């Protein structure tokens, strides 16, 4: 059965574009929602003829008021999965609980290392030789939910936070659609803080990701 997906963005929406362009089997993109009506990503979504909606957080007096309006908007589409793709807002506990086990995020570090902002500079400053990205289910604690997928890239001595961000973003565009496909095919189950993936792993693909 087809699963409905709502994607939340705030900015460029390159992950959203990768997800849309992946044409994930048995999934429909029910809506793209942005908290910023000028986000390049929402303009792109409109041009594609997708259901592109802006809900500006600045029109609300509190986080709770915004999140509850956002829930109402999202739930009109009866989504099976809500995907955060560069949605630059901390979500309230009640929002996270409402979408428990059907809310995904991508974070540009190898969690649990470097939650929060400035991940690339922090990885470089810490002398890390490897960086990467993590797709995880969202829990109320920031960047801390069960990990679905990760991809790694090497950090070399010439890397700046910009060059590292570009390498990591290229990986994000691969693993996010894959993780969503796994969700849609019911390959994922959550046991405590771990995600079990029943998909047969494609070793060639994993090797390619590590060679970025």
33 binds ligand GRF (CB under 6 A): no
State the nearest-atom distance from the C-beta of 1 to ligand GRF, in Å. 28
Q: Which two tokens stand for residue 47?
A: 């041009």
In the annotation, is 136 catalytic?
A: no
150 binds ligand GRF (CB under 6 A): no
Q: Which of 145, 149, 172 has its CA nearest to residue 164?
A: 172
- Can you tell me which of 7, 53, 82, 86 binds ligand GRF, judged by CB under 6 A? 86
13 binds ligand GRF (CB under 6 A): yes
- Can you tell me which of 79, 108, 145, 146 binds ligand GRF, judged by CB under 6 A? 108
Q: Considering CB under 6 A, how many residues would be counted as binding ligand GRF?
A: 15
On whether the CB atoms of residues 115 and 108 are closer than 8 A, the answer is no
For 19, 38, 67, 163, 178, the CA distances from 172, given in Å and listed in that order, are 10, 23, 26, 14, 10
14 binds ligand GRF (CB under 6 A): yes
Choosing from 57, 98, 107, 136, which is the catalytic residue? Answer: 107
SS3 for 112?
Answer: coil
Catalytic positions are: 107
């Amino acid at each position: 059965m087809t699963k409905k997906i709502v994607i939340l963005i705030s900015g460029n929406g390159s992950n959203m574009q990768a997800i849309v362009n992946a044409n994930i089997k048995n999934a429909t993109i029910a809506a793209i929602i942005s908290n910023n009506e000028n986000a390049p990503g929402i303009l792109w979504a409109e041009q594609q003829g997708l259901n592109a909606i802006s809900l500006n957080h600045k029109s609300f007096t509190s986080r709770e008021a915004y999140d509850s309006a956002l829930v109402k908007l999202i739930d009109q589409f009866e989504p099976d999965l809500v995907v955060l793709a560069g949605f630059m807002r901390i979500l309230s506990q009640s929002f996270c609980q409402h979408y428990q086990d059907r809310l995904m995020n991508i974070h540009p570090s190898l969690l649990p290392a470097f939650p929060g902002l400035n991940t690339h500079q922090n990885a470089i400053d810490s002398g890390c030789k490897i960086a990467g990205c993590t797709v995880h289910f969202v829990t109320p604690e920031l960047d801390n939910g069960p990990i679905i997928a990760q991809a790694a890239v090497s950090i070399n001595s010439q890397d700046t936070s910009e060059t590292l961000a570009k390498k990591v973003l290229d990986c994000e565009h691969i693993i996010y659609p894959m993780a969503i496909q796994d969700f849609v095919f019911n390959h994922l189950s959550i046991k405590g803080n771990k995600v079990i993936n029943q998909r047969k792993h494609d070793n060639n693909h994993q090797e390619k990701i590590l060679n970025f």
